[in-house]
Amino acid sequence: EVQLVESGGGLVQPGRSLRLSCAASGFRFDDFVMHWVRQAPGKGLEWISSISWNSGSIVYGDSVKGRFTISRDNAKNSLYLQMNSLRADDTALYYCVKDTAAILPVFNAYYYGMDVWGQGTTVTVS
Query: Residues in the site for other proteins, rule: CB under 8 A?
Result: 35, 37, 44-47, 50, 59-62, 95, 100, 104-107, 111-115, 117-120
Work out how close the CB of 25 gets to other proteins at its nearest, in angstroms, rounded to a whole number: 16
68 vs 46: CA distance, rounded Å:
14
- Type and span of the H or E element at 59: strand 58-60
Work out how close the CB of 106 gets to other proteins at its nearest, in angstroms, rounded to a whole number: 6
Residue closer to other proteins (CB basis): 18 or 38: 38
91 vs 86: CA distance, rounded Å:
9
Work out how close the CB of 6 gets to other proteins at its nearest, in angstroms, rounded to a whole number: 10
Bridge partners, residue 22, by sequence: 6, 79
